[in-house]
Structure 1
Amino acid sequence: MSASNLKLTIAFNNPDLNSEELDEEVQRLLVQIKELDEVEDVKRVPDPNPPLGNKTAGGFIVGLLLAEVSKENFKKLMGFLGDRLGGKPIELEVEANGKKLKVKANSREELAAAIEAAQKFVAG
């Protein structure tokens, strides 16, 4: 990761979905984010200790996605996520300048507030 880039971890927390459904959510978002020119890198988070016989998630932590974006493009990515993830229970963790901010959202309104908090964190 470049020192000037931000790292964003997106965790899907929907208790109504099983691990296969969470994995499908992550796969859909992964494909959509890969199409964005503003994002430097996006990938699944490897599971350092996958369960024996694990086949559904392929050695990745279920429900997690890691994106790397420049500070200049962070706001665009946040807008994209707001459009795609509104109403879904998620947790965002932003890492910038050696500091981390973790926010949770369970509704479109909470996601908007979480995105605003993340943008302020990155800006200041």
Structure 2
Amino acid sequence: MSSESNVKLTIALCNPDLDAEDQERETRNLLREIKELDVENAGLVAVTEIPEGSKALGGFLFGMLQAEVTIGNVKQLLGFLGDRLGNKTIELEVEANGKKLKVKASSQQELTAALEAAQKFVAAS
């Protein structure tokens, strides 16, 4: 399967209540769980791809990870994120067929709406 038909998600965990060490631990735990799903690849975001205003830690962006999935597995990953991150503030960037969608959520209701928007965006791409 060509990577052009895959969907790339960039997830930024935004928890001001956690110190750097706890935020890093939470990010790595989430990454480990995502890798257990049916994803093409997943990893921390390298410093070379720094979005403006982000903090870096040890060569990787602070609190950020990326996952790439086939279009058929997007729903599973988005469902997992909804279950796992319902009460957390996150920023999610979805890239499909060269188009990008950025959404931010800080409650279960906002996350549900953001994930639905992401799913519709992927379906339309």
TM-score with structure 2 setting the length: 0.88
- Residue 62 of structure 2 corresponds to residue 59 of structure 1: no
Structure 1 residue aligned with 2:83: 83
Structure 1 residue 122: deviation in Å? 0.4
Paired residue type of 2:103: V
SS at match of 2:84: helix
Amino acid at match of 1:4: S
In structure 1, the gaps of 5 or more residues are 51-55
1:61 aligned counterpart, secondary structure: strand
Partner of 1:25: 26
* Cα distance in 2 between the residues matched to 1:73 and 1:48: 27
Structure 1 ranges of 4+ moved more than 6 A:
none
CA shift at 1:85, angstroms? 0.6
Cα distance, 1:49 vs structure 2: 9.2
Aligned to 1:120: 120
Structure 2 counterpart of 1:58, one-letter code? G
Q: What SS does the aligned partner of 1:79 have?
A: helix
TM-score (ref. length: structure 1)? 0.89
How far apart, CA to CA, are the structure 1 residues paired with 2:48 and 2:74? Answer: 28
Query: What is the SS of the residue equivalent to 1:3?
Result: helix
Structure 2 gaps of 5+ residues are 51-55
Equivalent pairs, count = 118
CA distance in 2, matches of 1:114, 1:49: 23
Q: Deviations over 1:71-123 (max 9, x none)?
A: 01000110011111111000000001111000001011111000000000001
Q: What is the one-letter code of the residue matched to 1:116?
A: E
- Specify the alignment match of 1:53 in structure 2: none
Give the partner amino acid of 1:71.
I
Aligned residue for 1:48, secondary structure, equals: helix
Offset, 1:48: 3.1
* 1:20 maps to amino acid: E
Q: Which structure: greater helix fraction?
A: 2
| Superposition CA RMSD, Å | 1.8
Tell whether the 8 Å contact from 1:20 to 1:57 is kept in structure 2 after alignment: no
**Which residue of structure 1 aligns with residue 53 of structure 2?**
none
